[in-house]
Structures are given as structure tokens and as C-alpha cells.
Amino acid sequence: MISARPGKRVDNPRGLRAAGLRVAAAVRVALRSRWTRWLSITFLVGQLCDVLTTHVALASGRFEEANPVFAPALASNELLALLVKLSLAGLVLLAALTKLTGTRRTVVLAVLVFISLEAPATNALRILGML
């Protein structure tokens, strides 16, 4: 037979595992919306395309990172810097999915999608010599 320890609340679990379960539940609720799913996937694809086009541009030797905050990190360790960038994008998406609701979430995700698609599109146009 199992009983709760004195002073421990059984109905409201605490700790890292419980926090993870609450976040996962909030993400599941947010992703019930078709628009939220579509915008989230588009945002992530845009971020991956940005990382890919940035890598291709830098590897060509014809371009340098224009972001003065990100440039030193890329110069030091490109792979690590790009992984950190993708991780931060994932955290931003997680925050949007768990901390925002309704129309506010949709608008924020739409802005994030625009930004995440604009960067790789601009990179690609520069690589192709069209900008």
C-alpha cells in the first residue's frame, strides 16, 4: 500500500517532471487550432531555411553575417551558433504556444512566420545575385 509523505500534496505534483507535463499539455491545447499548427510548422521551416541559406552564403566566402551580435558567434563556431539560433527559435515558438492565447497567439505567430520567411528569401536572392 502506498501513502503520501507527510507535507506532500498528491493532487498538485511539483517538480521538473510536472512542469514538463504542464508545458506539454499547453502545447497540445494550442496545437488543436489548424491555424496555429500551420503557422508553427511554417515558422520552423522558415528557421531551417534561414540556417541553411546562411550556411551556404557564408561557405561561399562572398558574404559575411550582417548581424553584429550574431557575427562573432558564427565566426567562432558556425555549427554551434546555428544550433543555438534554432534552439532560441524553438523557445520563442514554445513561449508563443504556451503563454499566448486566441487572436494574440495567431497574430504573433503570423509576424514570426513573416520574419522567418523573409530572412531566407533575402539570403537566397543575395546568393543568386538578384539583390
Q: What is the pLDDT of residues 95-118, one digit of tens each?
A: 999 999 999 999 999 999 999 999
Q: Helices marked H in the chain — which ranges?
A: 16-30, 34-60, 71-76, 78-99, 102-127
pLDDT digits (tens, 9 = 90+) for 16-52: 888 889 999 999 999 999 999 999 999 999 999 999 9
The domain ranges of the chain are 33-127
How many CA atoms does the CB half-sphere of 22 hold within 13 Å? 9
Other Cβ atoms closer than 10 A to 42:
17
pLDDT of the residue at 2 = 47
52-87 pLDDT, tens per residue?
999 999 999 999 998 898 899 998 999 999 999 999
Work out the average pLDDT over 3-23: 70
- Percent of the chain predicted with pLDDT > 90: 77
Average pLDDT, the chain: 90
> How many Cα atoms sit within 13 Å of 35 on the Cβ side?
10
Cα–Cα distance measured from residue 53 to residue 77, given in angstroms and rounded to the nearest whole number: 17
